[in-house]
Amino acid sequence: MIKTLEKGRLKVLFPEECNDPFEFMSAPPTKLPDGYTSFDSNHLRKEYGFLSFTKTYKSPTMWAHYADNHKGCCVHFRFPSLPEQKSYNRISDPKEEHPYIYRRLMVEHEGDYFFSKQNPKTKEITNYVILWDIDYQNERAKFDGILSGYTTSGDQIEFKINPIFITKNESWTYEKEQRIIIPTSFPAEVEDSLVFIRGFNLYIKSVMLGMHCPYPEGLTQSRINALTLGEKNGIKITYSDEISYDDQINVSRVKPTNNTFEVISDEHEAFLKELKRNGE
């Protein structure tokens, strides 16, 4: 987390690095009536990565799996976005039984996005960062060769994505995952064979420490402020221009809830209420 803030970038996750070997893996190619084999999705595992988020911080299983058995932390992003929308694969899902939920993020970033790469002549329409909800189901999706698309009707724009990018088995439902698909053409930095991108750290609003995190809240707050607000000189922080203490990333710690198997941060919940009260 400290490196993420210090270097101002996020790591892009690629399928071969994931704990789920089925990422971006379609159902096996089948023989078509004319004898040809249908599209194979293997190349997508090298050409596309993603940023992975979760809708909830309260799951102890998530803390165990992704925060070093509750010794790590949870970083809270708050993206400005348009209202949630639904999209469908009209060909494979004509009855619209499996809607893809997504949000268009009002995030400024240089370079081509997933959709603008596919539609370079219509960048003004498709140049959006899109946050997709994962679709959990029992069967693997099939790859029809079409990566993405969109339709327009008046002022309405509906985006579509191939389901293999956002389909996982139902056993992963507890993660409540959302992801941003990142093509390898996206502006990136490579260090030690790892790929990083900038532009998203601006939307980090708070950090929650795990129940067993060995670092105290005060020390963590001081280190974060020194990295994000200005330079630390002894016990004082010299703030950068146009940045004040009110812009700090809030730090709290989670604890067990009284009656359930969830964890919660009272400070974080109060922070969320304050943001909503201010219309943020």
Q: Which long-range contacts (CB under 8 A, 24 or more apart) does 217-223 make?
A: 217/251, 217/252, 217/253, 220/73, 220/251, 221/248, 221/251, 223/2
More confident call, 200 vs 31: 200
Q: Is the pLDDT of residue 13 over 80?
A: yes
Distance (Å, whole) CA 50 – CA 67: 19
Distance (Å, whole) CA 143 – CA 43: 12
Please, which pLDDT band fits residue 124 given cuts at 50, 70 and 90?
Answer: low
Distance (Å, whole) CA 118 – CA 165: 15
Instruction: Give the closest residue to 109 by CA, choosing from 81, 136, 132, 129.
Output: 129
Minimum mean pLDDT among 20-29, 68-77, 143-152, 158-167: which range?
Answer: 143-152
Q: Is the pLDDT of residue 169 over 70?
A: yes
Q: What is the predicted pLDDT for the residue at 280?
A: 75
Q: What is the predicted pLDDT for the residue at 233?
A: 67
Q: What is the predicted pLDDT for the residue at 176?
A: 97
Mean pLDDT comparison of 69-78, 142-151, 237-246, highest-scoring range? 69-78
Would you call 8 helix, strand, or coil by DSSP? coil
How confident is the model over 85-107, as a mean pLDDT? 84
The answer to whether 134 and 165 have CB atoms below 8 angstroms apart is no
Q: Is the pLDDT of residue 278 over 90?
A: no
Q: What is the predicted pLDDT for the residue at 68?
A: 96
Q: What is the predicted pLDDT for the residue at 119?
A: 61
Query: In this predicted model, what pLDDT tens digit does every residue of 129-139 receive, in sequence order?
Result: 899 999 999 99
Query: In this predicted model, what pLDDT tens digit does every residue of 20-76 receive, in sequence order?
Result: 999 999 988 777 777 777 788 888 998 999 999 999 999 999 999 999 999 999 999
Q: What is the predicted pLDDT for the residue at 235?
A: 65
- The answer for residues whose C-beta is within 8 angstroms of residue 181's C-beta and 6 or more apart is 48, 49, 50, 114, 130, 132, 161, 165
Distance (Å, whole) CA 250 – CA 208: 8
Give me the chain's average pLDDT, please: 87
More confident call, 46 vs 90: 46
Q: What is the predicted pLDDT for the residue at 111?
A: 65
